[in-house]
């Protein structure tokens, strides 16, 4: 049974044109699925619908066969974790506080975290390489450390499905690659299902098992990265501004650049 | 494991230190005043010393403690709800509603000149309730979620509207009633009826328990509604609980004392510098700190230019404002 399945999702914000027009997809346990596409294609909206934060006007989302939007909020949070694009705290909480906030759904009526919560928080801090920064204020962290702390909080939810909205957008190449490697390890070792909206097509094709290509609210293609990022599709969506290179079996999507234009 | 103990340890420490602070302030409030009293005689007999201690000072100190504590903890709640460190218990229009209610009672002659009557606090409470209901209705989205931005806007607009109605009531009132309205707006703890703090206590404790039961959720919600929702919080329900419990805390004391500013803004900030932002520790610590702070402010109000009393709201603003600026500057410099 797929971990999550979207059937014919339609969604529009207020009275504007539909952002998603009949999107269907499914992902299996242990899979890393990347949602790619140009700006405004509906990637973040789709992620937020799958996270249960938005309700589609039409269509349904099934989580292991159960209707997602019928689940209680804490039940949903024990199955799905969501990593937003921006994470902003008003008050100076520590990294440990942020990570422990991920344990809320496992004891929603409790005022204090349990010993088990602490053990799990310690474990995910280790996975994300933040064990030495547990008492550091979140606002004092670098961009890469922050992203890992937010990921650690999501992992502390012990989810079966992890949804990420542009997780690498504020990271340099090395940190982005490390983050993807960590997610890949969690998929293969723990059977975690990962679905993420990604802008960086090269990164997405390097790490994701499959890609879903969203364009103008429709799922243009879904499958192997090499097939989804075809020359024709890239050209029709991005125009002549990108170039696909195949290097040692890897796909690299490069901007055409000044030199090429002049050539 | 060490960290679990840390939160609880911090809570216990905050309660012990807060309790000692409150005890010290409470004793100062009882024993110091424009007239000196003999504590042994006061506790033994029914002479003037006992009258001063038990009738003039005890109800007042108790009301000051409850008011300071309630306003400080409501301030913590509203700052977390609105995700705005500048929010106060009065930001969402509760005090303007209470003021309008009190002014209406005064204008209608429901408060006799000096004897006082229960009508003014009752009208104030009703006015506060009306403000809370109107702001809540305005802020509800068509779906279900409470929009905190609209809540803030609705509260501020309602405060302006009620302020304008207040001016109109002043215009209609004679000099005597207008003076009484202004004095009510300055905030006062000048009571001699021990029943007043007891009644306030019941409402305050309900509000505080309701707020504290959501303290862990307040921590999670400081990352925003969407993150809180994804962590498993029923954001709409929790926002409503915080809004109503904070409003209950505020209304219950403002009805009895009039609006006393700055406590709900300054105390949470100062306490947060010592306890950190964890609401499980911050809420009780702010209650104790606010309670002691207002007792001290009232003490100063009574003795600074005795026998004349300064309205306590003036003292809290004069002390609180510069103190907060000094602390924030020091924090920035460090």
Could you tell me the domains of chain A? 1-64+160-235 (3.40.50.300), 87-159 (no CATH)
Cβ of B4 and A115 within 8 Å?
yes
Angle ∠(B250,B255,B258) on CA atoms, nearest 5:
90
Express each pLDDT in B99-132 by its tens digit. Answer: 999 888 888 877 554 444 568 888 888 899 999 8
Q: Where are the beta strands (DSSP E) in A42-192?
A: 58-63, 66-67, 80-83, 161-165
For residue range A72-111, what is the model confidence (pLDDT) as tens digits? 999 999 999 999 988 989 899 999 999 999 999 998 788 8
Over residues B303-331, mean pLDDT:
83
Chain A residues with beta carbon closer than 8 angstroms to that of B278: 93, 97
Report the pLDDT averaged over residues A218-245: 87
The per-residue pLDDT for B144 is: 52
Residue A40: the pLDDT is 86
pLDDT value at B36 more than 50: yes
**Beta carbons of A118 and B3 less than 8 Å apart:** yes
Query: Is pLDDT of B3 > 70?
Result: no
pLDDT number for residue B173: 86
> What's the pLDDT score for residue B212?
97
B234 to chain A: closest CA residue: A73
Residue of chain B minimizing CA distance to A52: B230
> Which of B185 and B327 is assigned the larger pLDDT?
B185
- Please, what is the average pLDDT of chain A? 89
pLDDT attached to residue B110? 73
Highest average pLDDT, of B45-54, B138-147, B238-247, comes from B238-247
Q: Are A101 and B230 in contact (CB < 8 Å)?
A: no
Instruction: Report pLDDT digits (tens) over B229-268.
Output: 999 999 889 998 998 999 999 989 988 888 898 899 999 9
pLDDT at A243: 82
Contact residues, B window 279-308, toward A, CB-based 8 Å cutoff: 280
Q: Is the pLDDT of residue B143 over 70?
A: no
**pLDDT at residue A32, rounded to an integer:** 95
Q: Domain map of chain B by residue range? A: 2-333
Interchain CB distance below 8 Å, B219 and A89: no
Residues from chain B that touch A108, judged by Cβ atoms under 8 A, are 232-233
Interchain CB contact of B269 with A (< 8 Å): no
Q: A87 and B231: CB-CB below 8 Å?
A: no
Per-residue confidence band for B168, with pLDDT thresholds at 50, 70 and 90: very high
User: CB-based contacts of A76: which residues, under 8 Å, 6+ apart?
Assistant: A52, A63, A68, B232
How close does chain B come to A35, measured CA to CA in Å? Answer: 20
Residue B58 CA to residue B66 CA, distance in Å, equals 12
CA dihedral A106, A107, A111, A114 (to 10 degrees): -70
CATH number of B2-333: 1.10.3470.10
* Subunit contact B4:A112, Cβ cutoff 8 A: yes
Chain B residues in contact with A93 (beta carbon < 8 A): 219, 222, 276-278
CA dihedral for B269, B271, B273, B277, sign (positive or negative): negative
Q: What is the pLDDT of residue B328?
A: 75
Please say whether the beta carbons of B78 and B151 come within 8 A: no
Flag if A118 and B227 touch (Cβ within 8 Å): no
How far is C-alpha B211 from the geometric centre of its chain's CA atoms? Answer: 14
Q: Could you give the percent of chain B with pLDDT greater than 90?
A: 38
* Percentage of residues in chain A having pLDDT higher than 90: 56
The string of pLDDT tens digits covering residues B59-98 is: 999 999 999 999 999 999 999 998 888 888 888 888 899 9
A/B interface, count of CB pairs below 8 Å: 96
Residue with tokens 């996270």: A51
A32-59 mean pLDDT: 92
Mean pLDDT calculated for residue range A40-52: 93
Q: Do A73 and B280 touch (CB under 8 A)?
A: no
């Amino acid at each position: 049974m797929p971990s999550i399945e979207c059937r014919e999702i339609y969604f529009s914000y207020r009275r504007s044109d539909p952002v998603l027009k009949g999107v269907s997809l499914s992902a299996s346990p242990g899979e890393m699925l990347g949602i790619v596409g140009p700006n405004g294609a509906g990637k973040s909206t789709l992620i937020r619908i799958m996270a249960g934060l938005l309700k589609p006007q039409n269509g349904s989302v099934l989580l292991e066969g159960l209707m997602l939007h019928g689940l209680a909020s804490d039940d949903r949070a024990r199955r799905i974790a969501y990593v937003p694009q921006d994470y902003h705290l008003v008050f100076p909480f520590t990294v440990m506080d942020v990570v422990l906030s991920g344990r809320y759904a496992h004891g929603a009526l409790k005022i204090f975290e349990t010993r088990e919560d602490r053990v799990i928080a310690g474990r995910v801090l280790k996975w994300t390489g933040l064990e030495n920064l547990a008492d550091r204020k979140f606002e004092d962290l670098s961009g890469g450390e922050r992203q890992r702390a937010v990921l650690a909080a999501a992992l502390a939810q012990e989810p079966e499905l992890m949804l990420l909205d542009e997780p690498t957008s504020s990271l340099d190449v090395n940190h982005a690659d490390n983050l993807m490697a960590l997610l890949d390890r969690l998929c293969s070792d723990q059977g975690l299902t990962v679905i993420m909206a990604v802008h960086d097509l090269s990164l997405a094709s390097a790490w994701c098992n499959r890609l879903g290509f969203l364009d103008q609210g429709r799922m243009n293609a879904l499958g192997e990265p090499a097939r989804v990022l075809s020359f024709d599709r890239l050209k029709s969506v991005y125009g002549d501004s990108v170039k696909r290179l195949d290097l040692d079996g890897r796909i690299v999507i490069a901007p055409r650049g000044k030199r090429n234009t002049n050539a | 494991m060490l960290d679990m103990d840390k939160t609880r340890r911090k809570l216990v420490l905050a309660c012990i230190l807060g309790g000692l602070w409150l005890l010290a302030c409470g004793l100062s409030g009882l024993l110091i005043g424009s007239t000196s009293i003999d504590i042994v005689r006061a506790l033994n007999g029914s002479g003037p010393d006992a009258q001063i201690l038990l009738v003039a000072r005890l109800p007042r100190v108790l009301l000051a403690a409850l008011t300071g504590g309630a306003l400080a903890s409501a301030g913590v709640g509203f700052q977390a709800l609105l995700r705005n460190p500048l929010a106060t218990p009065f930001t969402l229009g509760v005090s303007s509603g209470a003021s309008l209610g009190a002014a209406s009672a005064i204008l209608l002659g429901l408060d006799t000149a000096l004897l006082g009557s229960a009508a003014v606090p009752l009208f104030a409470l009703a006015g506060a309730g009306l403000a809370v209901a109107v702001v809540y209705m305005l802020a509800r989205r068509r779906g279900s979620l409470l929009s905190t931005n609209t809540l803030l806007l609705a509260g501020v607009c309602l405060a302006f509207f009620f302020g304008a109605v207040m001016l109109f009531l002043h215009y209609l009132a004679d000099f005597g009633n207008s003076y009484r309205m202004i004095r009510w707006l300055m905030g006062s703890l000048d009571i001699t009826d021990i029943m007043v703090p007891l009644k306030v206590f019941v409402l305050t404790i309900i509000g505080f328990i309701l707020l504290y039961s959501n303290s862990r959720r307040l921590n999670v919600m400081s990352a925003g509604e969407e993150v809180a929702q994804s962590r498993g919080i029923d954001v709409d329900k929790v926002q409503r609980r915080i809004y109503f419990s904070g409003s209950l805390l505020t209304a219950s004391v403002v009805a009895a004392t009039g609006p006393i500013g700055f406590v709900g803004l300054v105390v949470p900030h100062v306490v947060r510098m010592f306890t950190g932002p964890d609401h499980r520790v911050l809420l009780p610590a702010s209650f104790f700190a606010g309670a002691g702070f207002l007792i001290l402010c009232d003490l100063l109000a009574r003795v600074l230019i005795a026998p004349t009393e300064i309205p306590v709201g003036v003292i809290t603003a004069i002390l609180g404002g510069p103190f907060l600026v000094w602390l924030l500057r020091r924090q920035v410099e460090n």
